Amino acid sequence: MRTSRTRTLYHLSLAGLALLALRPVDPLVRALDVLLAPSAVLSHLCAPLAWMGGRPAIAGEGQEEAAYAAQLALEQAVLASAEPQNPLRVEKLAGMRALRAEVSGRPRDDRDRIWLRLAQAGNISSLRTGDAVVSGDAFIGTVDVEASRLTAQVGVVEVQLVTGAQFRVGAEIDPEDSRFTGPIVGRRRMVVGGLAPHPDRILLAVHNPEQPGGVGARVIVSETVRVGVRTHLANGFVLGVLARGIPAAWEHASARLAEESLLGIQPIMDFAHGLHQVLILTDSEPEAIGNGATEMVLPVQDAAAWRSTQLLLRGESSPLRAGRKISSGSVNGVSVGAAVSVGTHLLGRVIRVGPLGADLSLLADPGLRISTIALLQDGSGKRPHVLGQLTSLGKGAAGSVRFHWPATLTLEVPSGWEPDVGLPAQIWTGSGDDGLPRGLLIGETDLPFGPGPHIIEVRLAADGLVDHGTQVWVGAPAGTPVSELSVSGEEL
């Protein structure tokens, strides 16, 4: 009887574990990670096998000077990506304060909001609700000071994106776009905000358009100056291109249905994964800042945010995976999603943490997702291009790794470039992913042109077989003023 009951309990627990494997429940998974902490000790038993699995260091590995120089070039290019390119918009900035900030994450329960870390935390108190936030030539949302009361203490301000259901901003078809405006047609004004209910595409919703037509034209912010509304600060910044979204299911429907298709704006930014560097436009007076320092450029690497770690075994027993065990766990401050790098080269991200060790998913591990920026090398210099989220598809040919690139922002063919020849680019991490700082080199590739999605082959900068200088991101200590972090720069 007793044996039978024990056996039943054993079988039930096996069924429970099987269910947990197929449908993970976070608290139970974390409890299991704690229960299985002794396996981290067993991982150390494999240390002698690391001699078999390693490879000799290649000349130049571990010498970080060249990598840091490249990182600095990226830093300048990425910071420049926050600034508008159009001369009219550059001119507009002269009449106001433009505060540099970086996307540091977003609330879990509201994907239509982002958190910004200002280059100079002291400037937060001078911000007002409604101050416009732009990235390059694009308008992306407004500051919400009320929602930032708690986050402001750690140098973070909350922004409501134009994709938010309640968001509204005045807009019009760009008068400079002469194809669609003119003395006869006049101005085409509308209200923009939230997402259009399109089943297949991401389009900003258009409300109350003044006149029909204008599909294919550029839409800019055009807000009148009113009390309590500050989005006029971003007048002239681009919302996207007016588009008529015909759902795929309506492809063979009648012309009448097509006419009733959704009018929306195709954004020029990837709001889900492509927001990195931004400017906050405000006309409020700056408050005196204690040390009188100029605005600092945000740091590429903060030494205090990294802990040195060790790869316990340079291999992975499952042919389906590309992973590693590292010697640091939650007692060392490691958390899920943390980046692991060798110098300035990204190795992968932590996917599971126990008290004494953690599991690392390498870049070649299928399913790994990273927010990225490309540094394009088209002969006329280096310029950044936001790639958005890349998803690893596993190993490709000759040691490369294949990635799925949605190409939300399509890459245009530079003048004089063969369209069939990909554009050489370095791929770096962007900001906005928890635990993944920007400025870590992923590898090099040739990017295809045109609308996505594309599959790209990336030649990795780090392969996980040499662990000299491996470090794991533990994040900046809470409350660290951004101005205390290193690297110099200047105010716009």
Partner 1 sequence: MRQRGRLVAWIMLAAWGTWLSGAQAVLVTRGTLGPWVPDLLLLLVVVVAVKLHRRDVIPATFILALCRTATTVDSPSAILAGFGILSVLVVSARRYADANRVLVRFAMVGVASLLFASWMALVRSAELGLHAPTSGLGQLLEPLLPGVLVTAVAGAILFQGLILLPGMTPLRQRSRLW
SS (H, E, C) the chain: CHHHHHHHHHHHHHHHHHHHHHCCCHHHHHHHHHHCCHHHHHHHCCHHHHHHHCCCCCCCCCCCHHHHHHHHHHHHHHHHCCCCCCHHHHHHHCCCEEEEEEEEECCCCCCCEEEEEECCHHHHHHCCCCCEEEECCEEEEEECCHHHCCHHHHCEEEEEECCCCCCCEEEEECCCCCCCCCCCCCCCEEEEEEECCCCCCCCEEEECCCCCCCCCCEEEECCCCECCECHHHHCCCEEEEEEEECCHHHCCCCHHHHHCCEEEEEECCCCCCCCCEEEEEECCCCCCCCCCCCCCCCCCCCHHHEEECCECCCCCCCCCCCEEEECCCHHHCCCCCCEEEECCEEEEEEEEECCCCEEEEECCCCCCEEEEEEEEECCCCEEEEEEEEEEEEEECHHHCEEEEECCCCCECCCCCCCCCCCEEEEEEECCCECCECCCCEEEEEEECCECCCEEEEEEECCCCCCCCCEEEECCCCCCCCHHHCCCCCCCC
Contact segment (CB under 8 A) with partner 1 among 19-27, 60-68, 188-196, 338-346 equals 19-27
Q: Should residue 399 be labelled a site residue for partner 1 when binding is judged by CB under 8 A?
A: no
Footprint of partner 1 on 363-392 (CB under 8 A): 365-367, 391
Neighbours of 261 (CB within 10 A): 15
Q: Compose the 406-425 pattern: x for residues touching partner 1 by CB under 8 A, - for all others.
A: --------------------
**Cα R_g (the chain), whole angstroms:** 25
- Choosing from 393, 409, 413, 492, the residue that interacts with partner 1 (CB under 8 A) is 393
323 near partner 1, rule: CB under 8 A? yes
Is residue 185 a contact point for partner 1 (CB under 8 A)?
A: no
Q: Which of 12, 34, 49, 80 binds partner 1 (CB under 8 A)?
A: 49
Q: Does 270 bind partner 1 (CB under 8 A)?
A: no
Is residue 272 within the footprint of partner 1 (CB under 8 A)? no
Positions in 425-464 near partner 1 (CB under 8 A) = none
- The answer to whether residue 398 forms part of the interface with partner 1 (CB under 8 A) is no
The residue from 8, 10, 69, 287 that contacts partner 1 (CB under 8 A) is: 10
| 57 is a site residue for partner 1 (CB under 8 A) | no
Work out how close the CB of 334 gets to partner 1 at its nearest, in angstroms, rounded to a whole number.
Answer: 14
Out of 12, 52, 88, 331, name the contact with partner 1 by CB under 8 A: 52
**Closest CB to partner 1 among 23 and 108?**
23
Q: How far is the CB of 325 from partner 1 (least distance, A)?
A: 7
Q: Which is nearer to partner 1, 15 or 258 (CB)?
A: 15
Shortest distance in whole angstroms from residue 257 CB to partner 1? 29
- 20 binds partner 1, rule: CB under 8 A: yes
The residue within the footprint of partner 1, chosen from 273, 324, 349, 438 (CB under 8 A), is 324
Q: Please identify which residue in 77, 202, 203, 313 interacts with partner 1, judged by CB under 8 A.
A: 313
Q: Does 46 bind partner 1 (CB under 8 A)?
A: yes
- Residues 331, 354 contacting (CB under 8 angstroms): no
* Segment contacting partner 1 by CB under 8 A, of 12-20, 125-133, 196-204, 334-342: 12-20
Here's the x/- map for partner 1, 333-362, by CB under 8 A: it reads as ------------------xx------xxx-
Q: Which stretch binds partner 1 (CB under 8 A): 22-30, 114-122, 223-231, 255-263?
A: 22-30
Among 40, 278, 296, 386, binds partner 1 (CB under 8 A): 40
Please tell me whether the peptide bond between 197 and the residue prior to it is cis, using omega within 30 degrees of 0: no
- Tell the smallest beta-carbon distance from residue 346 to partner 1 (Å): 17
Closest CB 392 distance from partner 1, rounded Å: 9
Residue 22 vs 184, nearer CB to partner 1: 22
Core vs surface per residue 292-301: b (16+ CB within 10 A) or e: eeebbbbbbb
> With binding defined as CB under 8 A, does residue 321 bind partner 1?
yes
Q: Residue 200 CB, nearest distance to partner 1 (Å)?
A: 14
| Residue 3 C-beta: closest distance to partner 1, Å | 9
Which of residues 276 and 325 has its CB atom nearest to partner 1 in the complex?
325
Torsion of CA 161, 163, 169, 170, to 10 degrees: 140
Q: How many CA atoms lie within 13 A of 44 on its CB side?
A: 8
Output the smallest distance, CB 384 to partner 1, in A.
27
CB 456 within 8 A of CB 447: yes
Contact between 315 and partner 1 by CB under 8 A: the answer reads yes
**Which of 8, 11, 63, 226 touches partner 1 (CB under 8 A)?**
11
What is the smallest separation between the CB atom of 457 and partner 1, expressed in angstroms?
14
Residue 354: exposed, middle, or buried by beta-carbon count in 10 A (0-12, 13-18, 19+)? buried
Longest dimension (CA), the chain: 93
Q: What residues make contact with partner 1 under the rule CB under 8 A?
A: 10-11, 13-15, 17-18, 20-24, 29, 32-33, 36, 38-40, 42-43, 45-46, 49, 52-53, 55, 313-321, 323-325, 351-352, 359-361, 365-367, 391, 393-394, 404, 465
